[in-house]
Amino acid sequence: METPENFMFYAISTTVVVSYVYYLILDKIKLENTYNNPKKERKQFLIRKISGFLILGLIPVTFAAVFFEFNPQLYLGFSGSASFHWDLQAFVIILLLLINFINARNADLQSKYPEMRIKRWSEKSLLVAWLGWFIYLMGYEYLFRGVLLFSCIDAFGIGPAVVINLALYSALHLPKGFKEAIAAIPFGAFLCYITIESNSIIPAILIHAIQAISAEFSCIYRNKEMLLTNKLTS
């Protein structure tokens, strides 16, 4: 029998399982960081990001649609009840751009981002970085701020749902370091807030994508070992 509790249990257990599976896959598809093979770096990067979209997004949502009569359009804001709060989004996006540009001077951050360790960044490489992050985060946010958040709200209410969401979201960042896991908490809290307020995951996808892409591009710009070129083919 389909109940909010059953769907919530599915959402939490699935989030844990697919997150673990995705990190196993990432361990198998490691970026070689050779600096001198942009084509191979781009290919591996896209495989990693598309795998994330499938494993963290499309597959869990498809299972939810099949076994829980879940409507995949439910959290997209197409019902007419969504209010996207564009002024708040614009303020947060500007703030994130400034923070990322300043933080990109940090050597530790530059050692982690960009994920593709390409020495000469062409327009094609920048486009692949942008596209890869956006595809990945569409699936990622649909799971965390869509299926997981709203299923827990239906079962427990807003407060416990946000706590569960932040706990799992922060834990998923632990492999990247304790600092990043802690930083994920306030950022994740805002994404939960804007999702609940707008009744749509679209703001969370846009904000998270801009945050990730701007962090990558800022680290490329700040990294003295990386150069920007205007060659589309390199």
| Tens digit of each residue's pLDDT (9 = 90 or more) over 61-117 | 999 988 888 888 877 765 555 577 788 889 999 999 999 999 999 998 898 899 998
CA 51, chain centre distance (Å): 13
Closest CA to 113 of 206, 27, 226, 20: 226
Q: Where are the beta strands (DSSP E) in 32-87?
A: none
Provide the pLDDT for residue 36.
67
Contact call for residues 46 and 128 (beta carbons, < 8 A): yes
- Helix 202-222, helix 123-141: angle, nearest 10: 150
pTM of the model: 0.91
Ranges of the chain with pLDDT below 50: none
Task: Tell me how crowded residue 67 is: count the other CB atoms within 10 A of its CB.
Answer: 12
Provide the pLDDT for residue 7.
92
Contact call for residues 65 and 72 (beta carbons, < 8 A): yes
Rounded Cα gap, residues 111 and 150, in angstroms? 36
Rounded Cα gap, residues 133 and 91, in angstroms? 22
Provide the pLDDT for residue 45.
93
Rounded Cα gap, residues 222 and 218, in angstroms? 6
How would DSSP label each residue in 142-170? IIIIIIIHHHHHHHH-HHHHHHHHHHHHH
Q: CA angle 141-146-152, nearest 5°?
A: 130
Q: Where are the beta strands (DSSP E) in the chain?
A: 120-121, 227-228
Any idea what DSSP says for residue 53?
A: I
- Helix 4-28, helix 38-52: angle, nearest 10: 160
Rounded Cα gap, residues 49 and 212, in angstroms? 13
Provide the pLDDT for residue 166.
96
Which amino acid appears at position 180 of this protein? E
